[in-house]
Chain A
Amino acid sequence: MTSLAASTPPVIRHPIEPEAAPAVQLEGAGLTYESKDGALEAVAPTTLKIRAGEFVALVGPSGCGKTTLMRIIAGLIAPTVGRAQVFGDSPQVAQQRKRLGLVFQEPALLAWRSVEDNIRLGLELNPRETDTGMNIEELIAVVGLTGFGRYRPAELSGGMQQRVALARALAIDPPLLLLDEPFAALDEITREQMRYELLRLWGVSHNAQEPPRSAMFVTHSVAEAVAISDRVLVMSPRPGRIIADVPITTPQPRRPEHEHSDRFINNCAIVRAALRAPTTPAVPLDAA
């Protein structure tokens, strides 16, 4: 795979705009499930901000509420405390304006639709006159699936299916990508390629009317998080809360060879240390 680094084009990244409305803003947003046996706190009240144009990774142990936090941001589940805002509005407004591009761990494609019809799905649903959208043919080329437009998802490999899911999310040209462990189901080799694929796709130019594109990337992999993000947020075990905010100092644009640099290794060490730190006191700090 050594030739891969040389063939990677530079990633064009969006400018971070501190002045614009943040892409994501959580103000004490948390989620507690009520049941007969008592309350189960899935996500502790969380405050975080993702600036427009920023690529943020969220790492944490299994079951710490990363996916729940992402579903809160996407407006798929309402926080029981606090509030979530996306580009200064409620997540529902972001849904209505099609500002969210969701990618999941599994490709979750419609089995009965061809690749191109799957990619088109977001444009067909809730159609609006203001939809700019992207040229589907071009998008298929960008994700490297030229010639596979008429294939059914079942005819593609796992990596190809996940690229279809990425293209589907990008088709509506969203200013915010929400990626929930998108490469977790892929083999290690495909996975390492997909990191830089994702960065490149994320950088694909988009509607100038919208804020610069931001991304929130949930992952288990420290190396993956450090390789592609501007900032890594570390979550504690359940009830999840953000225990570290690590700026990544590796130079931009990111390239595979950066993964061998001292800076990269240092950044990974900081994130790993945060993950190892004793985090959840037996008695909540503010309860005492």
Chain B
Amino acid sequence: MFSNPVRRLDSVDAPFGAEGAGQRERLAPVALPSWRPLAAWVVPPLVALIILAVAVEIWVRAGGVSVWVMPRPSSVLEVFVSDFGLYFSEGLLTVAVSLAGLAVGTAAATLLAAGVAHSQLLERAVLPIAIMVKVTPVVALIPLFIIWLGHSIEPKIAIAALITYFPVLINAIAGFRDVDARMHDFFRSVDASTWEIFRYLRLPAAVPYLFASLKISVTLSLIGAVVAEFFLSGQGGLGALIWIEQNNLRLDRVFAAVLMLTLIGVTLSTAVVAAERVFSWRLDQPSAGA
């Protein structure tokens, strides 16, 4: 196929190659952290937390603080362990609402952002409304959503979705637009379609932006789910449980539910970071379109 053989720059390539190989080690897929660095990050906050709990325990016991005001950390832990099955199953419900809302909110926001990134008219029409919805405290809409969507899981998902969409929308628009002008020129020079430019250029360029917004949105969706559950205390979930136990003045059980929410929040955030390490810049690997 080629008319002349190539035997050039081999000696010059060697240092490049060595340099490239060195960097490859560093850029290789992130391995799971070994135990020692992990412990270095986990142990200090854990110790601080235990010290805080012990301090509260001493304060409550020595100060004779009423259990109606502040439960003993030890009794919170006791309730949490003995009724773990309850907190776990209610927690699963809350997670389901939160993730469903996140999925709906992210999908809708990404689609909208794709439209906005391609059309200035759509941007002018939609963005002000999106910002209006954003500055409105959407939990104020929960009573409406209950009327429209019923006393079931749907209004909870709607609130979680509505609270998560904005960071995704703004980041996705920025991501879809953050394409190299010359790269865009190259796509046009081979008569690539708008869809091809989106699929092969804009969408992968937006992946890091989408993950950045997902880190914010995942905790927002949990907030939305819990607040919606306050209103729908007959439909389960940790928010409903907190609402009921607050009425029963069982603060130890309220705190146990909060502890479960904290664990869920940590788990979901960690999962997003882990997913980012696996999927970011890897959208069309291995070799898309082959």
Interface residues of A (CB under 8 A from B): 7-10, 12, 71, 74-76, 92, 95-96, 98, 100, 102, 104-106, 108-114, 116-117, 120-122, 124-126, 134-135, 138, 141-142, 144, 147-148, 151-152, 154-157, 159-160, 168, 172, 193, 197, 200, 203-205
Residues of chain B within 8 A (CB-CB) of A122 are: 186, 190
Of all A-B residue pairs in the complex, the 6 with the closest CB atoms, nearest first, are A112-B281, A108-B182, A95-B191, A125-B192, A104-B182, A205-B3
Partner of A148 from the list B8, B20, B180, B281 (CB cut-off 8 Å) is B20
B145-184 near A? 1/0 per residue, CB < 8 Å: 0000000000000000000000000000000000010110
Q: Which residues of B contact A113 (CB under 8 A)?
A: 284
Q: Which of A8, A10, A104, A125 is in CB contact (< 8 Å) with B190?
A: A125
CB-based A-B contact count at 8 angstroms: 129
In the complex, the answer to whether B196 meets A125 with C-beta atoms within 8 Å is yes
Task: Give B254-290 interface residues, CB cut-off 8 Å to A.
Answer: 281-285, 287-289
- Give the distance in Å from the alpha carbon of A160 to the alpha carbon of B17 in the complex: 10
Which residue of A is nearest B22, CB measured? Answer: A155
Which residues from chain A contact B247 at a C-beta distance below 8 Å? Answer: none
Bound form: Cα–Cα A180–B191 in Å: 19
Q: In whole angstroms, how far apart are the Cα atoms of A168 and B12 in the complex?
A: 22
Chain A residues, CB < 8 A from B282: 112
Q: Which of B1-34 contact A (CB under 8 A)?
A: 1-10, 12-13, 16-17, 19-20, 23-24, 27
CB–CB A203/B4 < 8 A:
yes
Chain B residues within an 8 Å CB radius of A172: 190
Please name the residue on chain B nearest to A157 by beta carbon: B16
Bound together, the chains give a CA A10 to CA B6 distance in angstroms of 11
- Residues on B with C-beta less than 8 A from A100 are 189-190
Out of A102, A105, A144, A157, name the residue touching B20 (CB < 8 Å). A157
Q: Is there an interface contact between B201 and A110, defined as CB atoms closer than 8 Å? A: yes
Output the nearest chain A residue to B19 by Cβ-Cβ distance.
A157
Cα A108 to Cα B181 in complex, Å, equals 9
Interface size on B, residues (CB 8 A): 44
Q: Do residues A102 and B186 form an inter-chain contact, with CB atoms below 8 A?
A: yes
Residues facing A in B90-134 (CB within 8 A) are none
**Smallest Cβ distance from B105 to chain A, in angstroms?**
25
Beta-carbon nearest neighbor of A112 in chain B: B281
**Known contacts A144-B9, A200-B8; A102/B185 CB under 8 A:** yes
Residues in A whose Cβ lies below 8 Å from that of B7: 7, 9
A-side contacts of B193, CB under 8 Å: 126
- A142 (CB) vs chain B CBs: closest residue: B6
Interface centre among B3, B189, B204, B285 (most CB of A within 10 A): B189
In the complex, the answer to whether A95 meets B27 with C-beta atoms within 8 Å is: no
Known: A98-B190, A112-B283, A125-B196. 13 other contacts (CB 8 A): A9-B5, A102-B185, A104-B182, A113-B284, A114-B287, A126-B193, A126-B196, A134-B1, A138-B1, A142-B6, A144-B10, A200-B8, A205-B3
Judge whether B207 is part of the interface by a CB distance below 8 angstroms: yes
- Cβ of B244 to closest chain A Cβ, rounded Å: 48
From B4, B12, B189, contact of A95 by CB (8 A): B189
CB distance B6 to A193 under 8 Å?
no
Give every chain A residue within 8 A of B196 (Cβ-Cβ).
125-126
Asked whether B187 is an interface residue with its Cβ less than 8 Å from the other chain, the reply is yes
Sample of 23 A–B contacts (CB below 8 Å) = A7-B8, A9-B8, A74-B185, A74-B189, A75-B189, A76-B188, A95-B190, A104-B182, A104-B185, A110-B201, A112-B282, A121-B200, A141-B6, A142-B2, A144-B6, A144-B8, A144-B10, A154-B23, A157-B20, A172-B190, A203-B3, A204-B4, A205-B3
